[in-house]
Every structure is written in C-alpha cells, then in structure tokens.
C-alpha cells in the first residue's frame, strides 16, 4: 500500500528525502511544501500561520509531528502541540532548535 502523506499511524508518510545540509527551517519548509497543498510555495512566508492559510488541518498537524519526530529524533509531547510551537515554519524551526538544545517547547 502507498501512503499518500496524510496519516501517520498506519501508513508511511511520503516525503521527499530532505537535504541534511539544509537549515532546520529549510527542511521544515521543504516537508510542508512537498506534502501539503500550497498553491504558491514561494509566497508562503516563514511567519505565516499554517492553519490560517489553510495549509494544515488537524491531521496535518499530526503529520508534521511525525515528521519532526522521525527527522530530528524528538518526542513531541501532547502539551507541546500548541500554535506557539507548530503554527508556522519559523515557529516549528525554533521549537525544534529548542528541543534539540534540551530546553523544550513553549
């Protein structure tokens, strides 16, 4: 079976291999623009709300969490699943950086 990049529990998320030399922000951007419908990827600002822009919904957030956990070796706790940590490319990148530094989410 081919998972189409929606649900993380029972299907493998389909994402393009990320360039390990890219910044965290670049990798997150690549994942989002490759796996969600973004009509004009170049116009999606790092600071734009992914929810407000209609890029993600509740299952989309779960996909992003699965990506972050597998790509960066993190564990995203339920209480960290808040807009301040995950609602824009910039916020996600900052969240990942904080987690990797061991200081946790917001």
Partner 1 sequence: MTPSLVHQFVRHSAEQTPLATALIEPGREISYADLNGLCNRVANLLLTKGVHRGDRVVLALKNCIELVACYFGTMKAGAVAVPLPPGPRSDRFAHVVEDCSPTVCIVDTPTAEEQAAALCGAPVVLVHRNRNGSSGNGKHADPETRPDPVQRPQIQSHSDLRDALESVSDTEPDVRMIGSDLAAIIYTSGSTGAPRGVMLSHLNIVANTESVVTYLRLSHADRVMCVLPFYYVYGLSLLHTHMRVGASVVIDNRLAFPNAVLQAMTEYCVTGLAGVPSTFALLLHRSSLMAMSFPHLRYVTQAGGPMPPARIREWLEKGPPAPLYVMYGATEASARLTYLEPRELSAHMGSIGKPIPNVEVIVLKEDGQQAGPGEVGELVARGSNISRGYWNNPEDTRASFGPFGFRTGDLGYADADGFLYVVGRRNDMLKVGAHRVSAKEIEDVLSEHPAFHEVAVVGAPHDILGEAPVAFVVLREGQGLDTEEVGEFCRRRLPSHKLPVGVILRSEIPKNCVGKFDKGALRQAAREVIRTSHRVARTRTRHPSDRMNGPETTSNSP
> Where on the chain is the footprint of partner 1 (CB under 8 A)?
1-7, 9-12, 14-17, 34-37, 39-40, 42-49, 51-54, 56-62, 78-79, 81-83, 86-88
Q: Are the C-beta atoms of residues 67 and 31 closer than 8 Å to each other?
A: yes
Q: Can you tell me which residue has the tokens 């670049």?
A: 26
Residue closer to partner 1 by CB (options 48, 97) is 48
Nearest distance, CB of residue 22 and partner 1, angstroms: 16
- Tokens, residue 80: 């960290």
Report the residue number, 23 or 70, with the smaller CB distance to partner 1: 70
């Amino acid at each position: 079976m081919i998972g189409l990049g929606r649900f993380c529990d029972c299907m493998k998320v389909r994402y393009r291999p990320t360039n390990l030399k890219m910044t965290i922000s670049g990798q997150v951007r690549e994942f989002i623009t490759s796996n969600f419908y973004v009509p004009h990827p170049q116009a999606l600002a790092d600071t734009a709300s992914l929810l407000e822009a209609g890029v993600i919904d509740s299952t989309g957030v779960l996909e992003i969490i699965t990506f972050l956990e597998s790509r960066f070796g993190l564990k995203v706790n339920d209480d960290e699943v808040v807009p301040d940590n995950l609602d824009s490319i910039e916020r996600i990148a900052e969240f990942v950086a904080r987690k990797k530094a061991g200081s946790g989410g917001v």
